[in-house]
Amino acid sequence: MNLIEFWKQAGLRNAYLYEPEFSYIYVRKGMTVVRFKDGTSKQDTMLHIANVEAASPRTGALGRLLKKIDEELNVPVFIENLHSKATAEGLSTKYGFKFVNET
């Protein structure tokens, strides 16, 4: 099952997916509350990218996946953990991602 099929299936809350540029990708969907640094918050049904590994790291696969999500699903995305500071900064500057739920 790919990302689009997963999002469209009612009742399915999480799954490992097949996407061509990834060794694996584990996602969830559901109602989420995020808190922004400025004190505001947002509650919405979001796609969580919980665990992901690109087949060829540092080639822009995550950015292309996010573009696909935006163009085909137009849903909020919550990336649960990023271990690369460069990736986090790139998502912020290139795609407008915001850091949320930080303590």
Whether the predicted pLDDT of 45 surpasses 60: yes
Dihedral sign for Cα 94, 96, 100, 103, please.
positive
| pLDDT tens figures, 61-73 | 998 999 999 999 9
Name 94's Cβ contacts closer than 8 Å, sequence gap at least 6: 63
Q: Report pTM.
A: 0.83
Report how many domains make up the chain: 1
Residue 101 belongs to a domain = no
Residue 62 belongs to a domain = yes
Residues for the chain: how many in total? Answer: 103
CATH number at residue 53: 3.40.630
Quote the domain boundaries for residue 89: 3-95
Residue 102 belongs to a domain = no
Q: How confident is the model at residue 101 (pLDDT cuts 50, 70, 90)?
A: low
